[in-house]
Structure 1
Amino acid sequence: MTRPLGIILAGGRATRMGGGDKGLRSLGSARILDHVIARLEPQCAALALNANGDPARFAEFGLPVLPDSIGGYQGPLVGVLAGLDWAAQRGADTIVTAAADTPFLPLDLVARLTACAAPNGLCIAASPDETGTLRRHPTFGLWPVALRDDLRAALADGLRKVSLWADRHGAGTARFSNDQGDPFFNINRPEDIDTALRQMADPDAAP
């Protein structure tokens, strides 16, 4: 099976981080985005960034930068649509998305999403929270290009919640374990960088 194109979602405003690009913050000897790219790139046929504003700030990564086609920072589904449109231009069938602030994303993300996908190719990642309840991670998904016009119409109608649109299309769920720390731990606040550094030093420690 052909590997999907990868889209790193970096289109948010990082308000809890004080603004700016979270992915460009240092985490150990590299930046957060370097860690994300290192883990996602081997799983994909090619990578692109979904980000708004001046794309030049990401030039050194050598990746295409895809802005939202709908203004106003209206959530990850808008970034998914940008990725699907880019994939359609390249003749690809699917994309996989990951958040730009998640330096421990699973090394088998694509394989697990693909294995658990619904017949239409749609799948969302999930893992247990601190109570053991399964929680979906809407920025980590496998998305078929064939649904991009449906998504565009849903966004035009005002839909913004990933789970609502995913459920509408019977998305599969790929379950991941937290046994070696949370693979979907995301850096939202400055203090989360210290937590991530501790997890890097001791991968078996939960954040």
Structure 2
Amino acid sequence: MRLSLGKKAIRVLGLAESFRKGYSQDAVLAGVVMRSDFIVDGVVLGRCRVGGMDVTDSILEMYRKLNRDDISALMINGCIISWFNVVDLNKLYRETNLPSICLTYYPSTGLREYFMKYFPEDWSERVRIYEENGPRTEVVNKNGFKIYLRVVGVDVEAALNLVNKYTLFGRVPEPLRLARLIAHAILEERLQPQTIDS
């Protein structure tokens, strides 16, 4: 699928999470709809199970809650989030018909052994989804930082162009940076001890 990068107000839905293992069974998901001129014109929240298998369905629910047809791509802060909850990029693409781009920022030596160690009952399904997402491609963004992309529904060159369009500084594109800040703030608020005013 071709992305119309020349259009000033192209929009992406950037998705990120925040969780603290041992404190809550659920992770907070946040989605930010951002135009390529960095105007934010949508925010959506969701949740997924820490260590679960539900993050893909949660992302789809968030997308549907927005109920809009002007989003051009999904941008996700990692394919393995909330402690090995695996994002299924192929399912996202099938269900939304939007290019799905997963970003990570550091090299990885592989996760199969961790899936097997921590999830003996369903490790093979997690590995299947993970591997069907395709290989990570190492690229260099416009700021000179190495990042790693997995893409479905678009080629790596177009995905990198989109990532660069939304990156002001460093490695992290603005929709993901903002989504991560929102998710973290909500999680911290939820973890605060509740007090009752007298």
TM-score w.r.t. the length of structure 1 is 0.31
Structure with the greater alpha carbon radius of gyration:
2
Higher strand share: 2
TM-score w.r.t. the length of structure 2 is 0.32
Higher helix share: 1
